[in-house]
Structure 1
Amino acid sequence: MWLSGAALAVALIALVVAVSGRDGGAGTEVLPGATEAGPDSTWSVRPGAVPSDPDEPDEPEPVETDGPAASPGAGDPVPPAPSAEVDCPPASVTVGDARSLKDALAKARAGDSIRLADGVYSGRFVATAAGTAEKPVSLCGGSGAVIDGGGIKGGYALHLKGATHWRVVGFTVRNGQKGVMADRVRGTVIQRLTVESIGDEAIHLRDFSSDNVVRDNVVRATGLRKPKFGEGVYIGTAKSNWCTVTQCAPDESDRNAVIGNRISDTTGEAVDIKEGTTGGRVVGNTFDGAKLAGSHNDSWVDVKGNDWLIQGNTGRNSPEDGFQTHQIVKGWGTGNTFSDNTARVDGPGWGFRLTSDGNKVTCDNKVTDAAKGLANVDCAS
């Protein structure tokens, strides 16, 4: 009997571990007061409480440790990245192969501009140098310059690690478990990249990465390793990974801007905004959710942080809803505003499904082909 009891205890512990983890979307409960919409109808229905689904099981977030991180302290002021499009200065060094790129990244200093000649740069690359607002570090190339991470099962194709004030512009990143990973990165612009054929998420800002801009990128074909982890742009860290990434503190990756990106063929949300993040913007992007996979990847944008503005985006094709909010941690998932977005849902859900309190959907949002209508809350002027 003692052995059987011990075996039962082990089994129960394993079960508890198995069901903890990654946050996800909501289920498909129909609220009272919902009616069927025509393709061009605008909706407003009675507010109602829709509980979020249990967290989807997660695996530990990999954290690479190669190279020193030249990150300022969390309290040091760092000017934000410019929101407008940036240009690359004349090259201070031009590279043509993987070895010379790694050497240039290792030697980079404030004001340097590294130019990638056309060609394939095979391997995983790490940038750690600190630029300044007046003298950023630039890493630039044309679409014919390709960083190839060598496989979708492990590693970051390009890792910005404690790199402040970088300008990462113009080239292609492909074939990594993660495409562009930014840890403790501030004041940086990631612009006009093509990030494609990625095992999990394409572009990820985490570990107190704040005041950055992700703009005008083409993101496509993610989730090739595990579809449930195939987000396009991922901000912050899920609570289940805070102890791995941020010493058990909320990942305050704040005031980041996601602007003008074209995101398609992602198996996870086009933009996933985690609990712990505050004050960012998702503006003027286009989303195609035709490849969204799994019960939790059921919207283009999922907001679990606070005080985000989601404005002027256009989406089409979703298996459930267009935009969602969730409360994964008490006090988070509130203060967010959805304004002037256009959603052709082509799905059975809402244009906007808010399952946490204190958020606003303005009446200038346009929703078509959403079976349940505009939103599960009243719109606001």
Structure 2
Amino acid sequence: MTKRPLALLAVLLTLALGAVVLAMAATGPSGGRDSGAGAPPGAPASGSAPTPSAVPDATAPPSASGAVPGCPEATVTVATDGELHNVLEEPEPGTVIVLADGVYEGNFTGTGDGTADRPITVCGSARAILDGGGIEEGYVFHLDQAAHWVLQGFTVRNGQKGVMADEVTHSVIRGLTVTDTGDEAVHLRKFSTDNRVLGNTISDTGQRKPKFGEGIYIGTAESNWCDISNCKPDRSDRNEIVGNTISATTAESVDIKEGTSNGVLRDNRFDGAGLKEADSWVDVKGKGWTIAGNAGTNSPKDGYQTHEILDGWGTGNVFRGNTAHVNGPGYGYALTPVLENVVECSNRATAAKSGLSNEPCAS
């Protein structure tokens, strides 16, 4: 072979080797694009926009490991009615009860105390369904004399009442689907204080008695104080009701009773198209409540109302930054009577034939 063909062959071999080296540098060990020198697995390539962190979805299917997205790591996983009843009997602080997908039939009660840093948690996806067995069949989930609990993600249906809280403090009801109840969906009563009801989806209440078909009910009516709260005001105080979506209720989306004080009703969404035994989405009969950032549509009369059932109640409530698309004959905000209630001018009302409020708004 002459020198010229040998030289040409050497050049070709050098070019081929260089192409292989470049290809190896451009790919990681698995053959995918490298994320940059020293970057941890999953990090964005240098100069690229970071991917936002995924928000856990409590309704997503379980992962291959059996974990439920959005739930803390389980200390115990249950799959049957009997297992759930058993683990709800005096769980230790820090217990995390994860519900496998499926239907759990019966009425379930949680009692006992967690702590601020070690709450007792019951968590599952929306396909983990607690079914009370009928719209006259008691409370589907009853939190009774409990502190520092978290109920999260699962579905509650087909009971006289959905979730009932009696003498419950510092607890969270979050991301539940509560539907098909004989009376109200979620009720905090009997001195239940400092709780949060967050981001739940509530619908189809009042199937037994439309009069009792509230979405969320706080406290106790004065006529029932002797049955529930020793003939004293049911001071279910400082509760926060935030980010819930409430529709197809036969009574108010939210009913805040006399005896309750200093709560927050914020950023909720109401659809009153199914109202039969109420003429507003929200009734406020307590005092010192802040009602802010909520939005409602479709009401037989008014959007939001206050009422004085007893002297000293139904006053000192502030409406701020709410919207009311009433589609009805009343006001966006009806203060009956006005007392020391305030409708700030940041509120809005549309399709309310009587206007914004029966009282001039406050700057």
Q: Would you call these one fold, judging by a TM-score over 0.5?
A: yes
The residue number in structure 2 matching 1:363 is: 345
Separation in structure 2 between the aligned mates of residue 172 and residue 143 of structure 1, nearest angstrom: 5
Tell me which residue corresponds to 1:327. 308
Of 152, 161, 176, 2:135 maps to 152
1:272 aligns with 2:252: no
Task: Give the deviation of 1:285 after TM superposition.
Answer: 0.3
Alignment of 1:107-122 (within 5 A): 107-122=90-105
In terms of fraction of residues, the more strand-rich structure is: 2
Residue of structure 2 in register with 1:341 after alignment: 322
After superposition, the C-alpha distances for 1:173-228 in whole angstroms (9 at most, x for unaligned) are: 00010000000000000000000000000000000000000010000000000001
Aligned to 1:57: none
TM, length-normalised to structure 1: 0.76
Residues 138-162 of structure 1: per-residue CA shift (max 9 Å, x gap) = 0000010000001111300000001
Contact 1:213–1:257 (8 Å) recurs in 2? yes
CA distance in 2 between counterparts of 1:88 and 1:142 reads 8
Residue 234 in structure 1 maps to residue 253 in structure 2: no
The one-letter amino acid of 2:287's match is N
Residue 379 of structure 1 aligns to which amino acid in structure 2? Answer: C
Give the structure 2 partner of residue 142 of structure 1: 125
1:176 matched to which residue of 2?
Answer: 159
Q: Does structure 2 conserve the Cα–Cα contact (< 8 Å) formed by 1:258 and 1:283?
A: yes
**Structure 2: unaligned runs, 5 residues or longer:** 1-56, 59-69
Structure-to-structure mapping, 1:170-249, within 5 angstroms: 170-249=153-232
* Partners of 2:132 and 2:140 within 8 A in 1: yes
Letter in 2 for 1:118: D
SS of the aligned residue for 1:352 comes to strand
Q: Does 1:299 align with 2:280?
A: yes
Note the C-alpha offset of 1:93.
Answer: 0.3
Say how many residue pairs are matched.
295
Alignment partner, residue 36 of structure 2: none
User: What is the distance in 1 between the residues matched to 2:83 and 2:145?
Assistant: 21
Residue in structure 2 matching 1:261, options 227, 244, 247: 244
1:88–1:167 CA contact under 8 A, matched in 2 = no
* Structure 1 stretch displaced more, 102-111 or 178-187: 102-111
How far 1:278 sits from its partner (Å)?
Answer: 0.3
The SS at the match of 1:354 is strand
Distance in 1, Cα, partners of 2:314 & 2:355: 22
Please tell me whether the aligned partners of residues 214 and 258 of structure 1 are also in contact (alpha carbons under 8 angstroms): yes
Correspondence for 1:378: 360
User: Structure 1 residue 107: deviation in Å?
Assistant: 4.1
Question: Partner of 2:41 in structure 1?
Answer: none
Partner of 1:312: 293
1:88 shift after superposition: 3.4
Query: Do structure 1's residue 162 and structure 2's residue 145 form an aligned pair?
Result: yes
Structure 1 residues without counterparts, runs of 5 or longer: 1-84
C-alpha contact (below 8 Å) 2:178/2:185 kept by paired residues: yes
Aligned to 1:93: 76
Query: What is the CA deviation profile of residues 27-84 of structure 1, one whole-angstrom value per residue up to 9, with x for unaligned ones?
Result: xxxxxxxxxxxxxxxxxxxxxxxxxxxxxxxxxxxxxxxxxxxxxxxxxxxxxxxxxx
In 2, Cα distance between the equivalents of 1:100 and 1:215?
A: 27
Which amino acid in structure 2 is aligned with residue 114 of structure 1?
A: I
Letter in 2 for 1:311: A
How many angstroms apart in 2 are the aligned matches of 1:154 and 1:310?
33
4+ long deviations beyond 3 Å:
85-88
| Sequence identity percentage | 57
Offset at 1:349?
0.5
Of 230, 234, 251, which residue of structure 2 is paired with 1:251?
Answer: 234
Q: What is the identity, as a one-letter code, of the residue corresponding to 1:315?
A: G
Q: Per the alignment, do residues 221 and 304 of structure 1 end up closer, same or farther by CA in structure 2, a change over 3 Å counting?
A: same
Cα pair 2:71 2:124 within 8 Å, conserved: no
Q: Is contact 2:196-2:240 (8 Å) kept?
A: yes
Give the 3-state SS of the residue equivalent to 1:228 in structure 2: helix
**1:119 and 1:108 mapped to 2: Cα distance?**
22
Do 2:159 and 2:182's aligned partners in 1 also have CA atoms closer than 8 Å? yes
The DSSP-based 3-state class of the residue aligned with 1:253 is coil
Distance in 2 (CA, whole Å) between partners of 1:97 and 1:88 is 19
- Bigger-Rg structure (1/2): 2
Aligned position for 1:46: none
Aligned-CA RMSD value:
1.2
Q: Which has the higher contact order (CA 8 A, sep 6+)?
A: 1
| Deviation, structure 1 residue 89 | 2.0
**Could you state the TM-score of these two structures normalised by the residue count of structure 2?**
0.80
Q: Which moved more, 1:104-113 or 1:132-141?
A: 104-113
Q: Which residue of 1 aligns with 2:116?
A: 133
